[in-house]
């Protein structure tokens, strides 16, 4: 018998840029990235809604590549939004386009769109030839302040969120702030929840900054929005690059605070409730639970709920109360699915204070139900 234990030392670079007008020929950022990779070819895929909002974008991209040494293989416009992740249709379509463009593993696939689009196109990029170089251009608050700077991609399957997916570090992420200003207002606002989340879990000073800037953030004022996006993105990226578990091999997932309920609410509502608004509800629920279970002081819940209300983010959704045939709240399936998706024991992060958390392995479902009652009444009270 023989046994050999090897280590595979791999270092991933994670380039994240914040800029404006990334395709202006005088903007050096993309050129620097293309040069660093020394790649031969590039194919560009733009989300339909972004192409519509920016009618000159395709021409700008083409003009940009005329000035580079990279062989430009064209632009495709594909749909986005949650429907693009619903099954593998658009992943297959993207593989077809990658194949037709003869991209190889040294080529670049530039993907310009929101979080759902980047998840689907990113999965296609991660799996074509076992990975072509993906340059992400996130175009929504949520994709710039969270998902776009992460190292994951996925589509949905078996009525479950992100069931098919991969960990794949993008070649680069270019957060072009200009794109933020054409997204639908509701999308723009909802994406702020991931900033609130990462502040709550990681950075008290950032949470206090959010509180101080609530009026400007609630009004989606560009300067406040952009500052919030950049700070949130950096906190997410810092956790991934320095937190010791970039590919989530362990059980703790601090960046998924409030997400066990959120992912289930998305699936229960057939994705009519999208990710940002679902996280707002899930985060409100887990914050209230943290306080009511005694992990955190009662004032914490009041403080966080105030922030969410001032940002006009709803903290209750009727799907929290939907029951199965045996009279059990269906949202609780989210706990089992969360554990299964992660592997290992159930681990849910709860807050002890702002910027300070604890991993718990048991959730008191009666207490969750009481918190749901509180959120429902609170919402009804606010509507009166």
Ligand X SMILES: NC(=O)c1ccc[n+]([C@@H]2O[C@H](COP(=O)([O-])OP(=O)(O)OC[C@H]3O[C@@H](n4cnc5c(N)ncnc54)[C@H](O)[C@@H]3O)[C@@H](O)[C@H]2O)c1
Closest CB to ligand X among 85 and 97?
A: 85
Q: Within a 10 A sphere around the Cβ of 284, how many other Cβ atoms?
A: 28
Closest CB to ligand X among 187 and 291?
A: 187
Show the binding pattern over residues 256-295: x = contacts ligand X (CB under 6 A), - = does not: ------------------xxx-------------------
Calculate the alpha carbon distances from 23 to 19, 32, 113, 307 in Å: 10, 12, 15, 36
184 binding ligand X? (CB under 6 A): yes
Nearest to 274, CA basis, from 317, 230, 221, 329 = 317
Closest CB to ligand X among 39 and 258?
A: 258
Calculate the alpha carbon distances from 86 to 3, 106, 157, 340 in Å: 43, 29, 7, 20
Size of the site for ligand X (CB under 6 A): 32
Stretch that binds ligand X, among 66-74, 183-191, 284-292, 317-325 (CB under 6 A): 183-191
**What is the C-alpha separation between 26 and 29, in angstroms, rounded?**
9
Closest residue (Cβ) to ligand X? 115
Stretch that binds ligand X, among 80-88, 214-222, 284-292, 346-354 (CB under 6 A): 80-88
Helix (H) or strand (E) holding 18: strand 15-19
Pairing of strands 172-176, 133-138: parallel
Closest CB to ligand X among 73 and 259?
A: 259
In the list 30, 57, 78, 82, the residue contacting ligand X (rule: CB under 6 A) is: 82
Question: Residues 102 to 161: which contact ligand X by CB under 6 A?
Answer: 113-117, 119, 139-140, 142-143, 146-147, 150, 152-153
- The burial class, CB within 10 Å (0-12 / 13-18 / 19+), for 235 is buried
Question: Residues 50 to 69: which contact ligand X by CB under 6 A?
Answer: 50, 53
Helix (H) or strand (E) holding 138: strand 133-138
179 binding ligand X? (CB under 6 A): yes
CB of 53 to ligand X, least distance (A): 4
Tokens linked to 168: 């794949």
Closest CB to ligand X among 258 and 276?
A: 276
Q: In whole angstroms, what separates CA 174 from the centre of its chain? A: 15
Q: Three-state SS for 176?
A: strand
**What is the C-alpha separation between 135 and 174, in angstroms, rounded?**
7
241 binding ligand X? (CB under 6 A): no
The residue behind tokens 């362990």 is 250
Closest CB to ligand X among 61 and 101?
A: 61
Stretch that binds ligand X, among 44-52, 98-106, 205-213, 281-289 (CB under 6 A): 44-52
Stretch that binds ligand X, among 35-43, 78-86, 292-300, 363-371 (CB under 6 A): 78-86
Q: In whole angstroms, what separates CA 306 from the centre of its chain? A: 23
Contacts of 383 (CB under 8 A, 6+ apart): none
Question: Residues 85 to 104: which contact ligand X by CB under 6 A?
Answer: 85
Question: Which DSSP letter does residue 323 get?
Answer: B
Stretch that binds ligand X, among 43-51, 86-94, 316-324, 329-337 (CB under 6 A): 43-51
In the list 94, 175, 183, 232, the residue contacting ligand X (rule: CB under 6 A) is: 183
Tokens linked to 292: 């009511």
Please answer whether residues 286 and 377 qualify as being in contact, where contact means their C-beta atoms are separated by less than 8 angstroms.
no
Residues of the shown chain interacting with ligand X in the complex, contacts defined by CB under 6 A: 47, 49-50, 53, 80-82, 85, 113-117, 119, 139-140, 142-143, 146-147, 150, 152-153, 179, 182-184, 187, 191, 274-276
């Amino acid at each position: 018998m023989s046994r050999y234990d090897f280590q595979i030392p791999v270092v991933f670079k994670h380039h994240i840029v914040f800029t404006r007008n990334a395709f202006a020929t005088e903007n050096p950022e993309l050129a620097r990235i293309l040069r660093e990779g020394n790649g031969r070819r590039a194919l560009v895929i733009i989300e339909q809604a972004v192409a519509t909002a920016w009618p000159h974008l395709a021409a700008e991209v083409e003009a940009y590549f005329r000035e580079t040494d990279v062989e430009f293989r064209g632009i495709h416009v594909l749909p986005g939004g949650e429907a693009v992740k619903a099954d593998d249709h658009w992943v297959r379509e993207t593989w077809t386009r990658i194949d037709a463009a003869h991209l190889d593993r040294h080529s670049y696939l530039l993907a310009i769109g929101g979080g759902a689009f980047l998840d689907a196109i990113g999965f296609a990029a991660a799996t074509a030839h076992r990975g072509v170089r993906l340059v992400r251009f996130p175009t929504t608050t949520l994709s710039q302040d969270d998902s776009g700077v992460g190292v994951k991609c996925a589509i949905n399957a078996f009525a479950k969120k992100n069931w098919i997916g991969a960990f794949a570090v993008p070649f680069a992420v270019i957060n072009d702030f200009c794109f933020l200003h054409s997204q639908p207002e509701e999308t723009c606002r909802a994406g702020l929840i991931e900033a609130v989340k990462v502040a709550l879990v990681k950075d008290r000073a950032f949470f206090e900054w959010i509180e101080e800037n609530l009026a400007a953030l609630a009004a989606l004022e560009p300067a406040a929005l952009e500052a919030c996006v950049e700070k949130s993105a950096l906190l997410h990226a810092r956790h991934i690059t320095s937190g010791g578990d970039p590919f989530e091999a362990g059980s703790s997932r601090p960046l998924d605070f409030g997400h066990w309920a959120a992912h289930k609410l998305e699936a229960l509502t057939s994705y009519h409730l999208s990710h940002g608004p679902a996280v707002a509800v899930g985060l409100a629920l887990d914050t209230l639970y943290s306080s009511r279970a005694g992990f955190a002081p009662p004032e914490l819940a009041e403080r966080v709920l105030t922030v969410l209300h001032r940002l006009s983010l709803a903290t209750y959704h009727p799907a929290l109360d939907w029951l199965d045939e045996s009279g059990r709240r269906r949202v609780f399936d989210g706990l089992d699915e969360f554990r299964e998706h992660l592997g290992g024991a159930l681990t849910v992060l709860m807050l002890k204070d702002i910027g300070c958390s604890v991993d718990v392995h048991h959730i008191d479902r009666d207490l969750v139900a009481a918190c749901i009652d509180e959120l429902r009444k609170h919402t009804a009270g606010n509507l009166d």
